[in-house]
Structure 1
Amino acid sequence: MYTAKGQLDANAMLRQYSPLVRRLAHQMIAKLPANVELDDLIQVGMMGLSDALSRFDAAQGVQFETFATQRIRGAMLDELRGNDWMSRGDRRHQRTIEAAVHKLEQKLHRAPSESEIAQEMGLSLTDYQELLTKVRGTQLIYLEDMSGDDGDDDYLDRHVHDEEANPLGRLQDQRMRQALVEAIKNLPEREQYVMSMYYEHDMNLKEIAAVLKVTESRVCQLHSQSIARLRTRLREW
Structure 2
Amino acid sequence: MYTPKGMLDRDAQLRQYAPLVHRLAHLMIARLPASVELDDLIQVGMIGLTEALARYEPSMGVQFETFASQRIKGAMLDELRDADWMSRGSRKLQKDIESAIHRLEQRLQRPPRESEIAQELGMTLDEYHETLSRMRGTQLVYLEDLGGRSDDGEEGFLERFLPDDAEQNPESILADRRMREALVDAIQRLPEREQYVMSMYYEHDMNLKEIAAVLGVTESRVSQIHSQAVARLRARLREH
TM-score by length of 1: 0.62
Aligned to 1:217: 220
Q: Which aligned pairs between 1:1-237 and structure 2 lie closer than 5 A?
A: 24=24, 31-33=42-44, 80=80, 83-136=83-136, 137-143=138-144, 145-149=146-150, 150=153, 161=164, 163-237=166-240
Which residue matches 1:55? none
Q: Deviations over 1:173-217 (max 9, x none)?
A: 111111111111111100000111111112221221111111111
> How many percent identity over aligned positions?
57
TM-superposed CA distance for 1:80, in Å, is 4.4
CA contact (8 A) 1:101 1:112 kept: yes
Q: List alignment gaps of at least 5 residues for structure 2.
A: 1-19, 28-37, 50-72
**What is the distance in 2 between the residues matched to 1:138 and 1:236?**
18
Matching residue's letter, 2:43: L
Q: Aligned Cα RMSD in Å?
A: 3.8
Q: For residues 161 and 229 of structure 1, what CA distance do their matches in structure 2 show? A: 27
Larger Rg: 1
**Structure 1 ranges of 4+ moved more than 6 A:** 27-30
Q: Structure 1, residues 130-157: CA drift from partner, whole Å, max 9, x if none?
A: 10010122234423542234599xx99x
- Do the aligned partners of residues 33 and 134 (structure 1) sit closer, same or farther apart at CA in structure 2, a change above 3 Å counting? farther
| Structure 1 unmatched runs, 5+ | 1-19, 39-72
How far the C-alpha of 1:104 sits from its partner, in A, is 1.0
Q: Sort the Cα spacing of 1:143 and 1:80 in 2 relative to 1 into closer, same or farther, 3 A.
A: farther
Question: Number of matched residues?
Answer: 176
Considering Cα pairs closer than 8 Å and 6+ residues apart, tell me whether 1 or 2 has the greater RCO.
1
Taking structure 2 as the reference length, the TM-score comes to: 0.61
Paired letter, 1:114 = E
Distance 1:104 1:85, change over 3 A: same
8 Å CA contact retained: 1:33, 1:139: no
The structure-2 alpha-carbon separation of the partners of 1:235 and 1:186, relative to structure 1 and needing over 3 Å to count, comes to same
